[in-house]
């Protein structure tokens, strides 16, 4: 359809389809959605309405896609039960970075991207959000919280060049994140892990 | 033909029918769904995409995005060299298979 306002019948149909496809694993769900959307968006409103009638109930389309996707999921995760995979992935994202700093979290993210249990957008959100948060927090910490550099002493005994001490750099280096940032990052990762776990388990449930 | 046997037969041949359809010219999802539904090989477009995913996973088809004429950009499916080889192999097997089944069924008729 050339003009597709958000409240058009096509948008409503696609919205309904999206809701029904929640339980269909990736990449099938995205392909079904894209295939139907590209067809409906190419038609005039009147023809699109006929096409939607021809397509039928989104629930039926999603059910058939889910039924036929079972074979794909089994072949993509040989020897590893999908639910167990989802739980391990979410656990690594939540606490992997605490158990094995950085690498534990990275392992969880790698598992996330290797699986078809999550949609590309969910993978991007789970990966980018903590990185974005820590980047913004460190910039803010550096710009807003950093104390001014120690002023040069004018006392006669302190005059001349001297090596800086650690106290001169306290609060300056972003390589030493403060405790609040560490705690906030942990909470954020747990929240993302719970969301990822929920999305994965709902979709993988038959 | 019972419903169960028909369903299994359809599921077994639909991948090769897709390869056969796109071997002459690349097709997009809706075109494929329409043709396959018309002959009863799939019941809805929901059945098509899991099959296309299986074909992609094993490298039998490739997907390209292109615009035909003034229409929208669409995903077109075409067979890879591996897909063409699979199709050719299936064509040979299928003709033998149907011939043998026909012979057996013919014998059982009075």
Residue A58 has pLDDT above 70, yes or no: yes
**pLDDT (tens digit per residue) in B57-105:** 889 999 888 877 666 778 899 999 999 999 999 998 888 888 888 888 8
How many whole angstroms separate alpha carbon A17 and alpha carbon A78?
29
Q: What is the dihedral of CA A148, A150, A154, A159, to 10 degrees?
A: -150
Closest alpha carbon to A200 in A86, A101, A58, A102 = A86
List the single residue in B with minimal CA-CA distance to A59.
Answer: B46
Q: Domains of chain B: which residue ranges?
A: 3-108
- Rounded to 10°, the helix B81-108/B3-24 angle is 140
Is A32 within 8 Å of B45 when comparing Cβ atoms? yes
Q: Which of B7, B46, B61, B70 to probe by mutation at the A interface, max A CB count within 10 Å?
A: B46
Determine the Cα–Cα distance for residues A139 and A141; give it in Å rounded to an integer: 5
Share above pLDDT 90 across residues of chain B, in percent, rounded to a whole number? 27
Q: Where are the domains of chain A?
A: 9-76, 82-204
Q: Please give the backbone phi and psi of residue B64, each rounded to the nearest 5 degrees, phi first.
A: -130, 145
**Among A21-35, A188-202, B49-63, B82-96, where is mean pLDDT lowest?**
A21-35
> With contacts defined as CB-CB under 8 Å, which chain A residues touch B44?
55-56, 60-61, 64
pTM (two decimals): 0.56
CA–CA dist A73, A25 (Å, integer): 8
Q: Give the CATH number of domain B3-108; options: 3.30.565.10, 1.20.120.1630, 1.10.10.10, 3.20.20.10.
A: 1.10.10.10
């Amino acid at each position: 359809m050339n003009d597709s306002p958000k409240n058009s019948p096509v948008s409503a149909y696609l919205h309904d389809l999206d809701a029904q496809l929640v339980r269909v694993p990736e990449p099938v769900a995205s392909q079904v959605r894209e295939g139907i959307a590209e067809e409906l968006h190419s038609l005039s409103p009147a023809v699109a309405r006929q096409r939607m009638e021809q397509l039928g109930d989104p629930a039926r389309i999603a059910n058939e896609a889910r039924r036929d996707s079972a074979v794909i999921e089994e072949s993509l995760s040989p020897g590893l039960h999908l639910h167990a995979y989802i739980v391990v992935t979410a656990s690594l994202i939540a606490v992997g970075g605490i158990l094995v700093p950085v690498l534990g979290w990275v392992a969880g993210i790698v598992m996330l991207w290797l699986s078809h249990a999550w949609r590309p957008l969910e993978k991007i959100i789970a990966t980018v959000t903590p990185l974005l948060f820590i980047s913004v927090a460190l910039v803010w910490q550096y710009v807003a919280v950093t104390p001014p550099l120690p002023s040069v002493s004018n006392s006669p005994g302190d005059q001349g060049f001297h090596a800086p001490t650690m106290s001169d750099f306290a609060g300056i280096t972003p390589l030493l994140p403060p405790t609040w940032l560490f705690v906030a990052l942990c909470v954020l990762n747990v929240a993302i892990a719970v969301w990822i776990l929920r999305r994965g388990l709902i979709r993988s449930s038959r | 033909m019972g419903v169960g046997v028909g369903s299994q037969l359809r599921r077994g041949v639909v991948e090769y029918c897709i390869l056969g359809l796109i071997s002459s010219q690349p097709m997009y999802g809706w075109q494929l769904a329409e043709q396959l539904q018309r002959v009863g090989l799939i019941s809805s477009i929901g059945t098509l995409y899991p099959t296309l995913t299986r074909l992609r996973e094993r490298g039998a088809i490739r997907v390209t995005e292109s615009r035909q004429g003034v229409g929208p950009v669409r995903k077109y499916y075409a067979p890879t060299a591996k897909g063409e080889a699979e199709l050719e192999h299936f064509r040979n097997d299928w003709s033998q298979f149907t011939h043998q089944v026909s012979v057996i069924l013919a014998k059982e008729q009075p």
